[in-house]
Chains A and B, each alone.
Chain A
Amino acid sequence: MASTSPKITDSLQFPDNLDVTKTFYGFGAVGLIASGVGYFLNAEQFFFSYLTSFAFFTSIGLASLILLMIHHITRSSWGVVIRRIPEAFASNLWIWSIFIIPILLGMHSLYHWTHADYVAQDPILAGKTAYLNTPFFVIRQFIYFGIWGFLGYKLHKISVDMDKTNDWGLMELLKKLSAPGILIFAITIAFASFDWLMSLDPHWFSTMFGIYYFAMSFQALFPILILIIFWMHKKGILENTIQKSHIYDLGAWFFGFTIFYAYIAFSQFLLIYYANIPEETLWFYHRLEGSWAYVSYSLIICRFAIPFIVLLNRDTKHNHKVLISVSILVIAMHIIELYWIVMPTLHHHGVSISWLDFTTLIGLGGIFMGLFFQRLKKHKLVPVNDPNLPDSLHKTYHQ
């Protein structure tokens, strides 16, 4: 109820003296070159490591995209001040599509169903060839990235245009794009997860796998946003604009989607466990074998139990130290979970960590974050002409 409307007191330009882009690109280049060397040493390991890292960073872009669309369609005001961060992630999805190429080149190593002689002897796989065949797989990747790239680019472009034109009619356009966007997104992310991750074991199927991939990606997005905002605050960026109340909201989303993730992941497990049909249980059986079992149990503890208990208290949802530790834990567990989904296909009997797991992560991560910061610094850090901005700035934390 303040009589004066709140004003932004921070600089809206990313500081010029902070050149993180080059550092990230540097790391990216080194990581990718090292991984390239690894390709010649152990091609199979390279492709599996690459797929894990690719699935991780793509999930961040995709989760950003859905967050934006939900934000627009619900006309939310809380997150207007942080919106440029997911916008910057999502807007790069069309560039990011070039990193699917190594997977297309490595399909023969990654996916069993690409081996014609193997499929010919296997009636189950033969029955799936209408969907699982190389040309259709490649076409699907173009469709996915075409749709995501378009949505991400457009949502960012319109939002940035509004900074200059002050045309509130564009808000309508954002909503019109988001409504069908959410529907198409739900279908494409489900099929993309079937293609990239589920078809690694072509006999196995889970109708929940699409939402499972979405749930874990969305849970991991909030710790990433929290860490980026804390880093920005440390560098003095948007210190007074993104306040305690916004951090608290992110913490609440983080908490909520931790439960959602656990609900989905457990539901998938429970149905398969309870029905006890061999063709379904085999996937979990492999993941409870040897040292993979420890990874399975650590997922329950580190990805659900610890964040759940820690974030249950409302004070911890905006406590820097606690949030930073839980965020790092959950991001690490997201990588480990993807690793746990992908790797048992290659290493059946136990965890076998390769240096390629790290170089692909650093390589793709460097490029991904480099692209992000390049996009972020080009535009104002807050959508200044958004009609909901005053509301967002005005948010107070309720004790």
Chain B
Amino acid sequence: MDKKHSDKTIYGILAEFKNPRELTDASKTIVESGYRNFDTFSPFPIHGIDKAMNLNKSKLGWIVAGHGLLGLLGGVALIYFTMVVDYPMNISGKSLINVPAWIPVLFELTVLLSAFGAVFGMFFLNGLPKFNHPLFDSENFKKATDDGFFVCIESEDPQFEEEKVSKFLKDAGATNIETIYEE
């Protein structure tokens, strides 16, 4: 735990709040003060915190839609090539372009690729997988999975100044304020 070396770059300032309510209020104050690069951590989802943090709408929907479309078109290409071009097969006299019979396959492929898009897109947007995160250095941060409600203002923020942010968080009612360093 010998992190207080000046040669290490600062990742951000971590601060603890007592309960979800205070965390939500603090998020509003942080947004109002003009900070943009910050995140909140809690053991469970908090209603209304997205709005308080002024988060943008997730792009995941578009990723899923794109993958779904890819699945659909890929399916059409697959069936068209195998059943019409490469090895045409007459099945009970129906036409080669037999759309109703294709639909179950197209549906499955659309759903499959959408699900992949949803899962892997979520990983991608969350920056996963990751071996470690600077916040894990904080002993106190372990409470985030139990009963701790945290805010971390990151050093990437254009307004970031260590002293100023610490004081600001203290004024907002935070406890256990600590500076987190990059590895």
Q: Show the binding face of A for B, using Cβ within 8 Å.
A: 1, 266, 269-270, 273-274, 276, 312-314, 396, 398-399
Residues 119-152 of chain B, each 1 if its beta carbon lies under 8 Å from chain A, else 0: 0000000000000000000000000000000000
Contact partners of A273 in chain B: CB under 8 A: 100-101
Judge if B6 is at the interface, Cβ distance under 8 Å.
Answer: no
Contact partners of B158 in chain A: CB under 8 A: none
Contact of B50 among A269, A274, A399 (CB under 8 A): A399
Contact partners of B57 in chain A: CB under 8 A: 399
8 Å CB interface, B36-68 against A: 46-48, 50-51, 55, 57, 61, 65
Judge if B34 is at the interface, Cβ distance under 8 Å.
Answer: no
Q: Can you offer 6 A-B residue contacts whose CB atoms are under 8 A?
A: A1-B24, A266-B100, A270-B103, A273-B100, A276-B94, A396-B47
Contact partners of A270 in chain B: CB under 8 A: 100-101, 103-104
> Complex formed: what's the CA distance from A269 to B101 in Å?
10
> Complex formed: what's the CA distance from A204 to B180 in Å?
74
In the complex the two chains form, is A1's CB within 8 Å of B20's CB? yes
In the complex the two chains form, is B48's CB within 8 Å of A314's CB? no
With both beta carbons as reference points, the residue of chain B lying nearest to A275 in the complex is identified as: B92
Contact partners of A266 in chain B: CB under 8 A: 100, 103
> How distant is A247 from chain B, measured CB to nearest CB, in Å?
18
Judge if B21 is at the interface, Cβ distance under 8 Å.
Answer: yes
In the complex the two chains form, is A1's CB within 8 Å of B47's CB? yes
> How distant is B43 from chain A, measured CB to nearest CB, in Å?
14
What would 19 more interface pairs be, CB under 8 Å, given A270-B101, A270-B103, A274-B100?
Answer: A1-B20, A1-B21, A1-B46, A1-B47, A1-B48, A266-B103, A269-B100, A270-B104, A273-B100, A276-B92, A276-B94, A312-B65, A313-B61, A396-B47, A396-B48, A398-B50, A399-B51, A399-B55, A399-B57
Contacts A1-B21, A396-B47, A399-B50; is A274 near B61 (CB within 8 Å)?
no
8 Å CB interface, B90-112 against A: 92, 94, 100-101, 103-104
Contact partners of B104 in chain A: CB under 8 A: 270
With both beta carbons as reference points, the residue of chain A lying nearest to B94 in the complex is identified as: A276
Contact partners of B65 in chain A: CB under 8 A: 312
> Complex formed: what's the CA distance from A274 to B102 in Å?
11
Residues 56-90 of chain B, each 1 if its beta carbon lies under 8 Å from chain A, else 0: 01000100010000000000000000000000000
Contact partners of A1 in chain B: CB under 8 A: 20-21, 24, 46-48
> Complex formed: what's the CA distance from A398 to B104 in Å?
33
With both beta carbons as reference points, the residue of chain B lying nearest to A269 in the complex is identified as: B100
Contacts A1-B20, A1-B21, A276-B92; is A314 near B61 (CB within 8 Å)?
yes
Contact partners of B101 in chain A: CB under 8 A: 270, 273-274
> Complex formed: what's the CA distance from A1 to B49 in Å?
11
With both beta carbons as reference points, the residue of chain B lying nearest to A398 in the complex is identified as: B50
With both beta carbons as reference points, the residue of chain A lying nearest to B47 in the complex is identified as: A396
Residues 148-181 of chain B, each 1 if its beta carbon lies under 8 Å from chain A, else 0: 0000000000000000000000000000000000
Contact partners of B51 in chain A: CB under 8 A: 399
Contact partners of B103 in chain A: CB under 8 A: 266, 270
> Complex formed: what's the CA distance from A274 to B57 in Å?
44
> Complex formed: what's the CA distance from A270 to B102 in Å?
10
Contact partners of B50 in chain A: CB under 8 A: 398-399
> Complex formed: what's the CA distance from A399 to B58 in Å?
9
> Complex formed: what's the CA distance from A314 to B57 in Å?
11
Contact partners of B100 in chain A: CB under 8 A: 266, 269-270, 273-274
> Complex formed: what's the CA distance from A313 to B92 in Å?
40
> Complex formed: what's the CA distance from A314 to B26 in Å?
28
> Complex formed: what's the CA distance from A398 to B65 in Å?
20
> Complex formed: what's the CA distance from A269 to B21 in Å?
54
Contact partners of B55 in chain A: CB under 8 A: 399
> Complex formed: what's the CA distance from A398 to B46 in Å?
11
> Complex formed: what's the CA distance from A312 to B69 in Å?
13
> Complex formed: what's the CA distance from A312 to B20 in Å?
32
Contact partners of B61 in chain A: CB under 8 A: 313-314
Lowest 8 CB-CB distances: which A-B pairs, in order?
A273-B100, A270-B100, A1-B21, A276-B92, A396-B47, A399-B50, A399-B51, A1-B20
> Complex formed: what's the CA distance from A54 to B163 in Å?
75
Contact partners of A399 in chain B: CB under 8 A: 50-51, 55, 57
> Complex formed: what's the CA distance from A266 to B50 in Å?
39
Contact partners of A313 in chain B: CB under 8 A: 61
With both beta carbons as reference points, the residue of chain B lying nearest to A313 in the complex is identified as: B61
Contact partners of A274 in chain B: CB under 8 A: 100-101
> Complex formed: what's the CA distance from A314 to B24 in Å?
24
> Complex formed: what's the CA distance from A1 to B92 in Å?
63
With both beta carbons as reference points, the residue of chain B lying nearest to A397 in the complex is identified as: B51
With both beta carbons as reference points, the residue of chain A lying nearest to B54 in the complex is identified as: A399
With both beta carbons as reference points, the residue of chain A lying nearest to B19 in the complex is identified as: A1
> Complex formed: what's the CA distance from A396 to B47 in Å?
8
With both beta carbons as reference points, the residue of chain A lying nearest to B21 in the complex is identified as: A1
> Complex formed: what's the CA distance from A53 to B67 in Å?
42
> How distant is A307 from chain B, measured CB to nearest CB, in Å?
16
> How distant is B147 from chain A, measured CB to nearest CB, in Å?
15
> Complex formed: what's the CA distance from A398 to B92 in Å?
51
Contact partners of B92 in chain A: CB under 8 A: 276
Residue from A276, A313, A396, A399 having most chain B Cβ neighbours under 10 A: A399
> Complex formed: what's the CA distance from A266 to B48 in Å?
40
With both beta carbons as reference points, the residue of chain A lying nearest to B46 in the complex is identified as: A1
Contact partners of A312 in chain B: CB under 8 A: 65
